[in-house]
Chain A
Amino acid sequence: MSDSAQLRTFRRGIHPDEYKNLTCHLPSQTLPLPDEVFIALQQHIGAPCEALVAKGDKVKTGQKIADSAAFVSSPIHASITGTVAAVTSFPHPLGAKVPMIHIKRDGDEDDWELLDTPEHWEAAPKEVLAKLVREGGIVGLGGAAFPTHVKMSPPADKPIDHFILNGCECEPFLTCDHRNMLEDTDRILKGMAIMMKILGIENGIVGIEDNKADAIAAMEARVTALKLNFKVQPLKVKYPQGAEKMLIDAALGRKVPAGGLPMDVGVVVNNIATALAVYEAVVDGKPLIQRMLTVTGDAVQKPGNINARVGTPFQDCVDACGGLKDDTAQVFMGGPMMGLVQYDLHVPTLKATSGIVCMQASQIKNTRHYPCIQCGSCVSVCPMNLVPTRISRLAETGKYEDCKEWGIFNCIECGSCAFVCPSGIPLVQWIRVGKVKATEQQQKLKAQV
């Protein structure tokens, strides 16, 4: 395979089974309007929003119902037309109960309140476009949900020269980005062009793993047809290629400094779905209230890719795919590598929910745990070049100062180390504990000084 040998990628990483053929060939289906939605006020990284509506208010689809004065935050919009039933705490996919706006649908109408869009985005000044990205409530839809308008306004001392569109979708099971690239190729590319116009840069790269040959072909064809100056870059399949820092390394060969951000090497990375959401906000005037997500896994009767309104309960999404099998044992939001496990299906989807993966009991291995035998597998796969077993042990024994010295804050929690660990040690779990504790310790020290 001389072809794939030349494909770009990053160093280390793993090759988990993909399970993408469950859904990658299935066109997306739009869910009927849900009877009720629960819209969390914390949808994104940054400051949570304040509700702008109260119980009993009538809201239209796309109406702004929550916002925040903080810069690193993003407004939230009603995803159905209806009446606010409550603004109170409900179970959130992250585990705790958080404030949400509970909207019940009135009748069957779907009245939109659209954003004020310019006639031709090409002619509009970039400030107008940037404002639309913020007002549209656009956040990174790859999973982290970082407000996109913040990425669109880098500080003056960080010149940006490259835009990378992230079409890697390296998590097993998930196929929504893949379907989006096939079904909405033009709008994604135009959304990318809008973001590049805001940033004022010319160099655009679309990074796609080469297990999505049809998406690569579609993207290449449309880039040529639309006369865009983008480069479609096929990448060797490897997890976690979709992680920002890995993708920049793979596509451009630039290494983001430890503790730094992509903008430190002049790059902005955005997800496929984010580009689509930007196009819909800027051209169609539709704020981010719907997204594609993959409902899949062996425990789902009819796995598929669905377009669902933000705030639709997981149960509704799963029911639309034929419901769950009897021996369902685990449900994650997101893929199996970085996804969050759910304890029930009352929780609503978030803007950044890219998939609901349901596993049968037979799929879950109850492996015995062994002590670390120093095999070094975790070291040989860590894309951030850490020594996971050491950090995990230091965190376990409460040596948080040493954790920092061994680079605990560089960990991106991709899970490659715990995936390969023959002893079944929950390395990522300990590293997460260590991060929290080390931060606490730092703050305590600061408070003492």
Chain B
Amino acid sequence: MTEENLSQAQPEQPEKPIKPVKPKKDPRAKLYKPETPLILSSSPHFHSPNTVPKIMWNVIFALVPTTIMALYYFHWSGVGLILSSVIAALASEMIVNRIKGESFTVGDGSAAITGLLLALTLPPTFSMGGAALGSVFAIIVGKHVFGGLGYNVFNPALLGRAFLQASFPVPMTTWAWPLTAKYAEVDGITAATPLGLFKFEHVNSALHGLIYGNIGGSLGETSAIAILVGGIYLLIRKYADWRIPVSFLLSVFVVSGIFWLISPDVYPSPVFHLFSGGLMLGAFFMATDMVSSPITSKGSWIFGVGCGFVLVIIRLFGGLPEGVMYSILLMNAFTPLINRYTRPDFFGEVRA
């Protein structure tokens, strides 16, 4: 845009009389013909083929198994929620681009991720309009108010979910059994999540259900195995920092394990913690959001451990059955501080 403006602006300027410049006699002028103007740049002149859109579209690709499982379990309600959320995210991104007068950034895929992730954290019975509203909030307040891609403090999708949780507390905690579950035949369509069952009714759920996802819960949170497939793809391709999910899950395991050892009757087992609720989705796709997680490796460990600790505390002692969203949002707020105090030692540095 600026280049166009310049080229348009120049001819309009009043023409100054141009002084004829006498070319200095260069003894080599005869020997060397001037080349076509060479492009100037600062080293390095080589770049890897990795780009921001490539990272973003790979994250979306990694979410495909989870999305397929969501559609398999929840059919049309899944389709509706995902479509409305993604479309609302893309539309609000375009509107913000227009208002800011910048070129469209829909192609970089980051808005699509936000929309998709938000939809995957919603209960299947949630309304499509509500999902769209959450997406708009996530993009506008969660991302662009902070300055757009790269500047947001919090994970936009989680901020959108937090907004919906605060605005519609009842629909946000009303769960449906997957249509494939045998309970669906029963008259009551709504069901508690395994975490809710344990917290409020002290009912244990079977582990295989948690792994395959044939249980009550949010759209994309139920099938741990689908999330793991996509998450491991991200880690292998290095589109997510492996330290965050590893430290997050480890700290959940250890902290909940300590409580379980103290009193196995009161507290659920660490394995149950690992596979229930939104932990897998949160650990692989939410906490690893590059923008809102620390940049140093030491910082990643602190971030993951912090997330896990806060999560277990909320699950065991908080008013809510689930704490993935708040634990990650809380640690997002600490990210700048963590970055500041985890500067790696320079090569050959000896700290006093």
Contacts and interface: CB of A to CB of B under 8 A. Distances in A.
A and B bind: yes
Interface of A: 14, 16-17, 35, 85-86, 172, 245, 249, 255-258, 260, 313, 315, 324, 328-332, 336-346, 359, 361, 364-365, 367-368, 370-377, 379-380, 383-387, 389-390, 406-407, 410, 413, 415-416, 418-424, 426, 428-429, 432
B168 interface: no
A383 B48 CA distance: 17
A16 B46 CA distance: 8
B43 A422 contact: no
Contact of A373 (B34, B150, B350): B150
Q: Is the interface of A mostly helix, strand, loop or mixed?
A: loop
A258 B347 contact: yes
A385 B344 contact: yes
A383 B347 contact: yes
A346 B38 contact: no
Given A85-B27, A428-B42, A371 B348 contact: no
A224 B146 CA distance: 65
B298 to A, nearest CB: 10
A376 B52 contact: no
B43 A341 contact: yes
Nearest to A384: B347
B202 interface: no
B343 interface: yes
Given A313-B28, A371-B147, A374-B293, 20 more contacts: A86-B27, A257-B350, A258-B350, A331-B38, A336-B45, A337-B45, A341-B39, A341-B40, A373-B52, A373-B150, A376-B295, A376-B296, A384-B347, A410-B347, A416-B44, A418-B47, A419-B47, A421-B47, A424-B51, A428-B42
A375 B290 CA distance: 5
A419 B345 CA distance: 22
B50 A339 contact: no
A336 B46 contact: yes
B39 A330 contact: yes
B97 interface: no
B241 interface: yes
B346 A336 contact: no
Interface string B45-62: 111101110110000000
A435 to B, nearest CB: 13
B43 A413 contact: yes
Contacts of B77: none
A432 B290 CA distance: 26
A186 B157 CA distance: 65
B149 interface: yes
B333 to A, nearest CB: 15
B343 A406 contact: yes
B346 A339 contact: no
A390 B295 contact: yes
A406 B348 CA distance: 14
Contact of A245 (B32, B40, B348, B350): B348
Nearest to A389: B295
Contacts of A17: 46
A196 B311 CA distance: 62
B32 A345 contact: yes
Interface string B163-181: 0000000000000000000
B344 A370 contact: no
A404 B3 CA distance: 35
Given A370-B52, A386-B346, A330 B38 contact: yes
B291 interface: yes
26 contacts: A255-B348, A260-B348, A313-B32, A328-B38, A336-B45, A343-B38, A345-B32, A345-B35, A365-B47, A370-B149, A373-B55, A373-B291, A374-B291, A374-B293, A375-B55, A376-B290, A385-B345, A385-B346, A407-B349, A410-B349, A421-B47, A422-B48, A422-B51, A423-B150, A424-B51, A429-B42
B205 interface: no
A359 B45 contact: yes
B36 interface: yes
Nearest to B29: A346
A53 to B, nearest CB: 18
B150 A374 contact: yes
Contacts of B52: 370, 373, 422-423
Given A371-B148, A371-B150, A387-B344, A344 B35 contact: yes
B43 A344 contact: no
Chain B interface category by residue count: 35 or more
Contacts of B31: 35, 315
A345 B38 CA distance: 10
Q: Max chain B CB contacts within 10 Å: which of A341, A359, A370, A432?
A: A370
Contacts of A343: 37-38, 40
A179 to B, nearest CB: 22
A429 B44 CA distance: 9
B2 interface: no
A376 B241 contact: yes
Nearest to A330: B39
Interface in B300-345: 300, 339, 343-345
Interface in B141-163: 147-151
Given A328-B36, A346-B32, A390-B295, A419 B44 contact: yes
A85 to B, nearest CB: 7
Given A329-B38, A373-B150, A376-B295, A385 B46 contact: no
B341 to A, nearest CB: 12
Given A258-B347, A346-B32, A339 B43 contact: yes
B51 A367 contact: yes
B42 A346 contact: no
B302 to A, nearest CB: 14
A370 B43 CA distance: 18
3 tightest Cβ-Cβ pairs between the two chains A and B: A415-B44, A371-B150, A429-B42
A143 to B, nearest CB: 11
A420 B49 CA distance: 8
Contact of A379 (B42, B48, B51, B295): B295
Interface in B40-96: 40-48, 50-52, 54-55
A419 B48 contact: yes
A357 to B, nearest CB: 8
B36 A387 contact: no
A249 B31 CA distance: 48
A137 B241 CA distance: 50
Contacts of B41: 330, 341
Q: Max chain B CB contacts within 10 Å: which of A249, A331, A346?
A: A346
Nearest to B105: A370
B244 to A, nearest CB: 11
Q: Max chain A CB contacts within 10 Å: which of B150, B343, B348?
A: B348
